[in-house]
Structure 1
Amino acid sequence: MAHEEREENTEQDQELEQKPTDTLEIGQHDDLEDETETEESHEVDYSQLTKEELIAALEKELATLKAETRTSAHVKRADTVVREVRPVLDQLKRGEWEEARGKYIADNESEEGFEYKHEAQTQRIEELCREIRGQKTSYYQSLEKDKEKNFAVKTALLQRLRELLEAEESRETDASDMKTSWEEFKKIQEEWKAAGNIASPHNGTLWATYNALIDRYFSNRNIYFELKELDRKRNAELKAELCEKLESLVATLAERPMSKEVLNEANQIFEEYKHVGPAPREIQEELWQRFKKSMDVLYDARRNQSDEQKKSMAEIYQAKSKIYEDIVPFTSFTSGSINDWNAKTKEILAFQDQWVAVKGPMPREEGKELSKKFWAALKAFFHNKGEFFKQLEAKREQNLKAKTALCEEVEEIIATGEDNPQNTQRVIEFQKKWKAIGQVPEKFKDSIYARFKQACDAYFNQKRAKNKEVERDFEENLAKKKELCERIEAAAEQDATIAQLNHFKQEWAALGFVPKKDMQAIQKRYIAAINAYVGAIGKLSSKEREQVVLESEVEMVREGETNRGLYRKESDIRRKISQLESDIAVWENNIQFFGNSKGSNKLKADFERRIEKASEQLNELKHQLSIIQEAI
């Protein structure tokens, strides 16, 4: 019996010596899992996401933390996401604030009274960050509470186990007592296994106490080796099943890529393996090596995948570096042309699209620095463009003031109700000035043009309305003058008298203007009618008739022209008379040199026709001159 007890102690010592080895391997895999989680958490460049995408990403992390299945890895990942989103959020808030402040100063010419509330999406991002931090705090607080609770549970279990041992050592036990004791012992073991982790400073002490009490329990029973071997055989079966389960998981890599889900499933199996007790000594190491081999295959696949990701990240970094180098010259671009700025904007936006199109993560530190420089270059270009358009907007404001002044000028003319030629010419000049003035701010473009056009249209519509009334009067006067001409023409066939002639003249003079297009025709008809009437007066000599006809023609000239116009006509007629007299003298002189020949006679006849025609024109011009001189 003493020999058996020594074997029991030796076996127990070997089992206890085996546990640190398993624990070391467990810690190694846990570290690799944390490293994997950290790597995956940096695969997204949040500075490239829109507000909607940032909200979606944060809501996803928050939903994970609120789920009952949340783990420490989930909490770590969510916290990392918040740390990376926070600088992006700060930049967004700063940009919105500066933009609102700039607009407020532009509108009010002062910063006094400026207040700003961030956009709803920006506020939502900040709210989600706070909620995630709150969930993180809540999780670790609950974790600490659970550990304290588990510590109390395990302490109570140890006390129950001591009491069980003390009860067995203090009394004789029969078969029924042994069975009851064994059931209580297994129940304590199951409850111990179900209890969670506790604070690390107490973990080793509790486990050492627990193992010592277990060993003491078996050593106090005659069936220690039998029960222990049965338990270890059962543990061996469970560990073999877990090995097979892990090997099946490894086999699936032939059909699907390595992923976080596969790794999580493997770690779950590993957690189960850790909690299975020791197997028989002869197969304990064999089972562990079998299990470890499968785990190594999975983590090697994960490491290889990480190497490929690093290579891909380097390629993405190079591609984006090239795009950044291409946009650097844009930061110093300058021009006074809107078209040039718009063209450059299209080019730089095309580079931005290229940047966004290059998907995937970059090396963390280098990538963050490159992204920062890229977006800073874009910001510099658009800042310079904004300064250009600010100056342009100031010029457009001046143009708006100038065009507003023109609108007011036309509206003042309309208010007077005067549509004389001077005002008409002023409105036309305003229209020319309007075309010469440059563009106004876009939001006033249509309204200021509509105001000016409405004012000009109103003026000319007013003028047209009055002209229509005048035209109606002119048409009435034309009808009356035609009727008068008809009466004069009819009277010429009857007894004509000087008194009746004077009456006709007075009646003609009393009638107003006629349409311009009919003026010459009606005047010619009137003169012809007067001439015919004068010719019908039998008591007048030829000289008196000429004088009466001349007076009638003079009246016509006075009716159609001002004194300035008459002087101008007189000057033109004198010039034409002088030219004709000179031409006639030259032609008459040339005729003297022609001999008597067939060719010269023909040429002489041509010159005579010219002289005759010119003489007729000369007489007509002299007659017109005499009429104008009378009128003057």
Structure 2
Amino acid sequence: MLDKNDENVKKTEDSTKEVANETPKVEEVTSFEEVNEVEEPLKETVKIKEVEISETTNRVEESTEKVVEENNNDINEAIDEIEKSVAEDAENSNSKEEETPKVDYSKATLEALVVALKKVISNNPVQKIKSQVDAIKNAFNQKFGALLAEKKEAFLAEGGNSIDFQFSSPIKTEYNALLFSYKKERDAYYKDLEKKLNENLEKRLKVIEDLKTLIEDADTATMYKQFRELQDNWRAIGPVSKTRYNDTWKIYHHHVERFYDLLHLSNDFRDLDFKNNLEEKLKIIKQAEALAEKEDITEAFKELQELHKTWKEDIGPVSSEMREEVWHKFSVATKKIHDKRHQYFREMRSKYQEIIDKKLEIIEVLNNYNTSNNTSHKDWQESIKHVEQLRQLYFNAGKLPYNKSEEVWQKFKAATKKFNSAKNLFYKQEKSSQQENLEKKIALIEIAESLKDSEDWEMATNAMKKVQADWKKIGHVPRKFSDDIWKRFKTACNHYFDRFHEQKNAVSKEQQVAVDAKKALLDSLKEKESHTKESVLEAINKWRALGVLPRNVRHLESKFNKQVDKMLESLSLDKQEVAMLKFTNSLDSLVANKDFRKLDSEQMFVRKKIDEVNREISQLENNLGFFSNAKADNPLVANVKKQVEEFRVDLNIWKEKLAYLKGLDY
């Protein structure tokens, strides 16, 4: 009775009709795509050599029992899956990538990614680095895409047209050259591999034909030795294409069982082989059952593939009465791993769906992001910061396999493009406004430069102050001009006001004589011990006669006024008279120095004091009304009346000061 793997031998052999008699064609690489490369499987163009269909069919029908009908479809499904995996593994045995630690390239620079790509390509066989190259490609494409978007945004912000945008980078050129070289080498490898697979298929078909001949024509004395040689030859042959692997194995295995059926002439050889094969298959079953308990299901499935390959390639059949039982045990163990693997995939799909849902939520926020209220550069900088936070949330939500990520990624790009379009439109309009501001500021610079050497101090000073005020009212200019025009404007303004203050503070020879004379007068007044009203007034007149002090020595004026106040306070004069003498001296000093702003402030202050004193007097007189029946010598009443009199004296002084102020000619 046949193993379950052999149940369709007849159909398989019927379908195997032609041998490859022409060289397969592999398309030559003529173009280069650096994004989202999809590796196409090798094109199978091999035609299997025609076999003797009717003869083989008759032999199969005569020498095999009817295959037991499968009652468990789930086990069949598990076996089919592992069969396909073993077939693929057989074809790709030389190109399987070795287990290497996964590298996170997400934070690497473009330059570092190119260095990594060069190292991976140079130090490893081309057929073993696809996943590493893909990881580098994904990281490079994302980073370069972001750089490209940034450059385009800057180009548009400068007023450029989208259709005219171009950007080239030496690092991108080097990256393209490396990737092109890798693809060319990889294509050459798989073209050569296809040729070898076809050659191996020819060799396996030859072994099958030799085995059939042995069964029909061999000498019983030597047939077992010849059979062993054919088995060794079969095992020594390299891999064949995955589409032909199961077909050729089933045919080969069928004829192996035919051979063992013929060994009834030498039961010792046959029974010994059956026994050894049974022991080996039971070991494999035990290993498969242990794999079902392994935590790493991906690794367990890989090891299960190797067990199935060993079962098929390296171990012969067992006795007919044990075949179904042994195969069933192996199938059940396979089914357990199959179920566990599918449960793992279901969990991963659930996990991926959670990541997709999170990413879609972020995309929805981006799509609904309102920028209609952004009217300034500051507003947009806030929005850019917020959107960047959303972008980071998107990337931190988790990674997805390519077949699940592409659709979500396209939606994300569309959402960010919507935001970037609104941002670019604002800055394009802002660019136009900034150009107008630049023209306005250049006009102000020209005015400032025309006035910077003016000798008409009054006119030029007023004009320069207006220019400075107008400058502050104008908005931003293009960044590349900002520093230059500010430096030019500041230079013109500083040049003028440095000249202005220099001439204003300059002391002529005549002024220096007056300064020295005023210092001497001030020193003499400090040394004099006694003063009279007449001597104080004489000192004031002398001081005024010496002229106005230059601005840089105006502090002498303050010292003189303090000295005058001190001298007046030493005299036995009426309080009101002393106050007026101090006041008139101070005001005359302001008039002499043409400090009209302080004179105006002084007049406002005096008027305010008059109002305050009048209110105090009114309040006190109102309070006296409450004591109309009190005696004249009442202490409280007497005190209030005294306060009223004092306030009236103060009021007269303030009124006299106001009258003096009004009489000044300024």
Q: TM-score, normalised by structure 2?
A: 0.56
Which letter does structure 2 place at the counterpart of 1:341?
A: W
Task: Quickly say closer, same or farther: Cα 1:299–1:63, change in 2 above 3 A.
Answer: farther
Which runs of structure 2 are paired with 1:510-549 in the superposition (5 Å)?
515=550
- Contact 2:301–2:337 (8 Å) recurs in 1: yes
Task: Determine the structure 2 residue equivalent to 1:461.
Answer: 498
Which runs of structure 2 are paired with 1:58-457 in the superposition (5 Å)?
89=141, 100=151, 103=154, 115-118=166-169, 120=171, 122=172, 130=180, 133-134=183-184, 137-154=187-204, 157=207, 169=219, 178=222, 182-198=224-240, 208=251, 215=258, 219=262, 223-251=265-293, 253=294, 256-258=295-297, 260-275=298-313, 276-330=315-369, 333-361=372-400, 368-414=406-452, 416=453, 418=455, 420-457=457-494
| 1:107-140, Cα deviation, whole Å (9 max, x unpaired) | 58679997532572x5566556645654553343
TM-fit CA distance, 1:235? 1.1
TM-fit CA distance, 1:300? 0.1
- The 1-side partners of 2:326 and 2:118 are apart by 38
- Contact 1:323–1:354 (8 Å) recurs in 2: yes
In our comparison, the structure showing a higher alpha carbon Rg is: 1
- Contact 1:61–1:78 (8 Å) recurs in 2: no
TM-fit CA distance, 1:302? 0.8
Which letter does structure 1 place at the counterpart of 2:417?
A: K
TM-fit CA distance, 1:299? 0.7
- The 2-side partners of 1:391 and 1:163 are apart by 87
| 1:191-241, Cα deviation, whole Å (9 max, x unpaired) | 21221344667985797589659956985x885332222222211111111
Task: Quickly say closer, same or farther: Cα 1:426–1:442, change in 2 above 3 A.
Answer: same
- The 2-side partners of 1:19 and 1:106 are apart by 76
Task: Quickly say closer, same or farther: Cα 1:336–1:201, change in 2 above 3 A.
Answer: closer
- Provide structure 1 residue ranges, at least 5 long, that are not aligned to the other structure: 1-8, 37-47, 485-508, 523-559, 566-605
- Provide structure 2 residue ranges, at least 5 long, that are not aligned to the other structure: 1-57, 90-103, 522-544, 561-591, 597-645
- The 1-side partners of 2:359 and 2:469 are apart by 53
- The 2-side partners of 1:17 and 1:135 are apart by 50
- Contact 1:407–1:455 (8 Å) recurs in 2: yes
- The 1-side partners of 2:61 and 2:288 are apart by 29
- The 2-side partners of 1:185 and 1:468 are apart by 121
Secondary structure of the residue that 2:198 maps to in structure 1? helix
Task: Quickly say closer, same or farther: Cα 1:307–1:424, change in 2 above 3 A.
Answer: same
Q: How many residues align structurally?
A: 478
- Contact 2:157–2:427 (8 Å) recurs in 1: no
- The 2-side partners of 1:202 and 1:293 are apart by 23
1:29 to 56, 71, 82: 82
| 1:348-375, Cα deviation, whole Å (9 max, x unpaired) | 333333323322438956x644443333
- Contact 2:355–2:397 (8 Å) recurs in 1: yes
- The 2-side partners of 1:270 and 1:155 are apart by 21
- Contact 1:151–1:198 (8 Å) recurs in 2: yes
Which letter does structure 2 place at the counterpart of 1:454?
A: T
- Contact 1:317–1:362 (8 Å) recurs in 2: no
TM-fit CA distance, 1:469? 3.8
- The 2-side partners of 1:521 and 1:211 are apart by 127
Q: TM-score, normalised by structure 1?
A: 0.58
Task: Quickly say closer, same or farther: Cα 1:131–1:14, change in 2 above 3 A.
Answer: farther
- Contact 2:506–2:550 (8 Å) recurs in 1: no
| 1:466-489, Cα deviation, whole Å (9 max, x unpaired) | 3444445411355579999xxxxx
% identical equivalent positions: 23
Secondary structure of the residue that 1:330 maps to in structure 2? coil
- Contact 2:117–2:178 (8 Å) recurs in 1: no
Which letter does structure 1 place at the counterpart of 2:488?
A: R
Task: Quickly say closer, same or farther: Cα 1:455–1:205, change in 2 above 3 A.
Answer: closer
- Contact 1:97–1:118 (8 Å) recurs in 2: no
Which letter does structure 1 place at the counterpart of 2:291?
A: L
Task: Quickly say closer, same or farther: Cα 1:472–1:426, change in 2 above 3 A.
Answer: farther
TM-fit CA distance, 1:267? 0.8
Which letter does structure 1 place at the counterpart of 2:392?
A: D
